[in-house]
Structure 1
């Protein structure tokens, strides 16, 4: 059994316009010391899926199964989730400036988080640990910076503070939701280095949510590709980059700037589906250059014959040479 397992997760929200089916049958797992990358366009359900398993989507209709080291997450009550968040699952959110309270010093916020879970820890002991955490994530002069406010840190430094806070109780799983968004390339690399150090030192499992395939190539062991609230493809990183099967994965990779395309991007035509009324069959069919009649009639099975752990929700044959024949038939 993997450390974190999510199976057939469905999440929907009632709105005045109808029911938004944000996550539809998502499954994934990650084990200790490994990194799972979850990629896809904005609105594909990446963040909703991970926030749901820690109880951060109040008011949503949720079904499926999610366990952490065998402990049920979706059926946990509020008190149990408060115990799990921070202590067993650490969270790093996209915008650290909005995640950190602007009126309190960063050290105070880390200390309060530690003492909320470890009530027997004194303020002095918690402060000492906070300084050690800031030093571990490469904050210069941590004994001084611990008394600074969030606005006194740069974007990259604030993200390091969030990593320090997330790792304060040495959780088993670290969920990082777009941790490098809006950071320049140099700072992005530094933040990823800090996350790697944390994983190496504590054996932490990381769930990395991003739309940046470069970050996935740098960090992930396994990758889940999401689109329209569903998993399109799941594979080991190398298989996804070099032996991918799903046309959506192919489109994401072709849209990356490379030396071979002389800087020209190849966008995916069309727009993502409405989650109020998802199309029948494959959600990517309206944008897929390989689509044929069966694609819009019924959902494809999420499997690749002989692919083992590599799965793809697509009707196309495994061999690329057979694709045009399948489309033409």
Structure 2
């Protein structure tokens, strides 16, 4: 698949009364046309800030790096260029549709307004027909009637479908979905993900999915970036990440998931809490919580390098990039910790 978006060495920080918040630190990733990239991590890891920065939504931040979208550096683009790209070529779905949909206007009017803002030549009648078609595509029954309903007349899952319809109104090349299923129950979550997947297959849209839910990642992603304390800890294809992960933080996320076979047993959480982004510890940011930590981890920041001789798999960890040596290191460190 050809490359659509390439983000390199993205840094985002904010000045606060308590100090400088280093929200994103040297993040790099690629998104190819028609594929889904999942960005996962605990709350506060910098997932949302990174994608909001790419689309010009982090005013007042100090930003460096580049984000090349189909030949245009979004971080260097002027506001007019960003407005033309955002909405038309990059669609966005946010976590809470009620905060994104205006409560005083009918959903159809809001979709029509968005379409006409980017396509001045389309008539109101054609834009309304397009809005009704989109609502039908995302699975809203009787779309021709419901187009004149207000946001509060829809359930949470249906409001999220309206947001997907609005984001897909102009057939964008990239869709950024920021925690689109967090507030939904499992059944509705599956339906919303299926809607996104079917639209992706139909229009060839690339998706950046921001989530902390590894179950959602397992269903949807082609590639995964694991973030912690503003930085990428591991990048890999989905299957590699689940079955051959390298980074201890990724391992911690996976082992904290409930599984059917462990019914009645206690979950295994990651011990400790994430560090302050104002006062990061020296060395690896995960070192204070890592079960395999050794002296080098506490003083040197590990680079994001290839592991397991796989050019599509990178990890920021001082454990060996060779699978056999890494296993031996882990066993020795665990034995030393136990003693």
Q: Could you say which TM-score interval applies, normalised by the shorter chain?
A: over 0.9
Shift, 1:325, TM fit: 3.4
Q: Aligned equivalents of 1:20 and 1:96: distance in 2?
A: 28
2:279 is the alignment partner of 1:277: yes
Shift, 1:307, TM fit: 2.3
| Aligned residues of 1:7 and 1:27 also touching (Cα < 8 A) | yes
2:34 is the alignment partner of 1:27: no
Residues 180-199 of structure 1 mapped to structure 2, 5 A cutoff: 180-199=181-200
Q: Helix, strand or coil for the counterpart of 1:135?
A: helix
Structure 2 partner of 1:306 = 309
Shift, 1:321, TM fit: 2.9
Q: Helix, strand or coil for the counterpart of 2:38?
A: strand
Q: Aligned equivalents of 1:97 and 1:68: distance in 2?
A: 29
Aligned residue-pair number: 329
Structure 1 partner of 2:234 = 233
| Aligned residues of 1:156 and 1:187 also touching (Cα < 8 A) | yes
Which sections of structure 1, spanning at least 5 residues, go unmatched? none
CA RMSD in angstroms, aligned pairs only: 1.2
Q: Aligned equivalents of 1:181 and 1:131: distance in 2?
A: 26
Structure 2 partner of 1:325 = 332
Structure 2 partner of 1:94 = 95
Give the TM-score normalised by the residue count of structure 1. Answer: 0.98
Q: Aligned equivalents of 1:8 and 1:127: distance in 2?
A: 42
Q: Helix, strand or coil for the counterpart of 1:273?
A: coil
Q: Deviations over 1:59-110 (max 9, x none)?
A: 0000001011111100011111110111110000000011100000000000
Structure 2 partner of 1:51 = 52
Give the TM-score normalised by the residue count of structure 2. Answer: 0.95
Shift, 1:250, TM fit: 0.3
Structure 2 partner of 1:9 = 10
Q: Deviations over 1:176-204 (max 9, x none)?
A: 00000110111000000100011000000
Q: Aligned equivalents of 2:270 and 2:333: distance in 1?
A: 21
Q: Deviations over 1:272-329 (max 9, x none)?
A: 0100011111100000010011001011121125121100000012432332336759
Which sections of structure 2, spanning at least 5 residues, go unmatched? none
Q: Aligned equivalents of 1:204 and 1:51: distance in 2?
A: 19
Residues 79-118 of structure 1 mapped to structure 2, 5 A cutoff: 79-118=80-119
Residues 167-316 of structure 1 mapped to structure 2, 5 A cutoff: 167-263=168-264, 264-303=266-305, 304=307, 306-316=309-319
Q: Deviations over 1:227-277 (max 9, x none)?
A: 000000000000000000000000000000012333421000100010001
Q: Helix, strand or coil for the counterpart of 2:15?
A: strand
Structure 2 partner of 1:152 = 153
Q: Helix, strand or coil for the counterpart of 1:3?
A: strand
Q: Aligned equivalents of 1:138 and 1:258: distance in 2?
A: 31
Q: Aligned equivalents of 1:227 and 1:307: distance in 2?
A: 22
Quick check: 161-170 or 253-262, which moved more? 253-262
Q: Helix, strand or coil for the counterpart of 1:309?
A: strand
Q: Helix, strand or coil for the counterpart of 2:268?
A: coil
Q: Helix, strand or coil for the counterpart of 2:251?
A: helix
Would you identify which runs of 4 or more consecutive aligned residues in structure 1 move more than 6 Å? Answer: none
Quick check: 256-265 or 236-245, which moved more? 256-265
Q: Aligned equivalents of 2:223 and 2:308: distance in 1?
A: 19
Structure 2 partner of 1:66 = 67
Q: Aligned equivalents of 1:168 and 1:142: distance in 2?
A: 15
Q: Aligned equivalents of 2:72 and 2:170: distance in 1?
A: 18
